[in-house]
Amino acid sequence: MTSKKFDSFVINGDAGAYSSAHEMFESFLESRAQFHTLPTHLKSSPNTVKLSLFREIHAKKLNSSLFRQMGATNQALVNYWLSRVRNLADLSFSLNDLPEFSGLTKEDLAELSKNTTDPKFIVNIESYLAKKGIIFVVEPSVDGLKTDGAVFKLSSGHPVVAMSLRHKRLDNFWFTLMHELAHVVLHYDKLDGCIIDDLDSESSDIIELEADKLAGNSLIPRNIWRTCAARRDLQDSTAIEFARMHGMHPAIVAGRIQKEINDYMKFSAITNSVDTRELLLSE
């Protein structure tokens, strides 16, 4: 990191109004250590990566982040990914005339969920959320990153919802999106820090449980889910018919049953029928 870049970081105020030189130096040392643990191919622009890591690590110290993760999570990779997300979010905010964020409701999530029937709708998520003052960022996962999504807010108050597409299934996309948006609905006051989610891991944190519940109920209301015969007979045709009757993509139904029974081979023909990376990243 050059002294010019370091000075710019401080002058722009991103270091935080109450940062001491000692705190910033600690963040710098930590960022340098994490940089050396990153895979070589992620260091193609070393000065930029070092600066981004420094900003991310220091921001977390100033505004405590909430992690839903497994114990083996590589913090350097998480910080690398988040730093790229923040850079894209800042760029999006600078280039687009976003309306002020005036709040998000449970009804908004239920309305959004009506669009799961068409897999190609996900390419419109960015513009759909932008109209509500929410920045949507897709930053592809890197090998070893155990993170599905994250949510935080900019100093302007605009929420940022980020997704990694670590899993390419449509059901995972929609649940992750709804989970992060549920945090906006329920926990907006906590988003000065970042909420980072590994949705493969179980959590007993009340904030995570609340977001899980709202996300699930937004996609399939609890009273409707109780009537799903596919939960009992485990037949593809039954799951497809239930989805048709209630206006949702079959992968949403199949993925939820997979999670309930902890068997991801069952219904795999349905859940693997759409590749969200192909749709969003042209992979």
**pLDDT tens digits for 61-110?**
666 667 666 555 688 888 889 999 999 999 999 999 999 999 999 999 99
Question: Residue 86 and residue 68: Cα distance in Å, rounded?
Answer: 19
- For residue 55, pLDDT beyond 70: yes
Of 43-47, 57-61, 238-242, the range with the highest mean pLDDT is 238-242
More confident residue, 44 or 76: 76
**Token couple for 86:** 């923040």
Q: What is the pLDDT of residue 202?
A: 87
**Token couple for 256:** 């939820």
More confident residue, 42 or 160: 160
Of 52-56, 113-117, 138-142, the range with the highest mean pLDDT is 113-117
Least trusted range by pLDDT, from 38-42, 79-83, 140-144: 38-42
Q: What is the pLDDT of residue 6?
A: 43
Q: What is the pLDDT of residue 40?
A: 74
Average pLDDT over residues 155-182: 97
- For residue 134, pLDDT beyond 80: yes
Q: What is the pLDDT of residue 27?
A: 66
- For residue 135, pLDDT beyond 80: yes
Using pLDDT thresholds of 50, 70 and 90, give the confidence band for residue 269. Answer: very high
Average pLDDT over residues 163-188: 97
Q: What is the pLDDT of residues 3-25, one digit of tens each?
A: 444 444 443 444 444 456 666 66
Q: What is the pLDDT of residue 31?
A: 67
Average pLDDT over residues 184-196: 94
Question: Residue 114 and residue 221: Cα distance in Å, rounded?
Answer: 12
CA-based nearest residue to 244, from 255, 252, 232, 256: 252
CA-based nearest residue to 256, from 245, 274, 271: 271
Average pLDDT over residues 108-137: 97
% pLDDT > 70, the chain: 81
Q: What is the pLDDT of residue 82?
A: 92
More confident residue, 39 or 238: 238
Average pLDDT over residues 30-54: 70
Q: What is the mean pLDDT of the chain?
A: 87
Question: Residue 201 and residue 181: Cα distance in Å, rounded?
Answer: 19
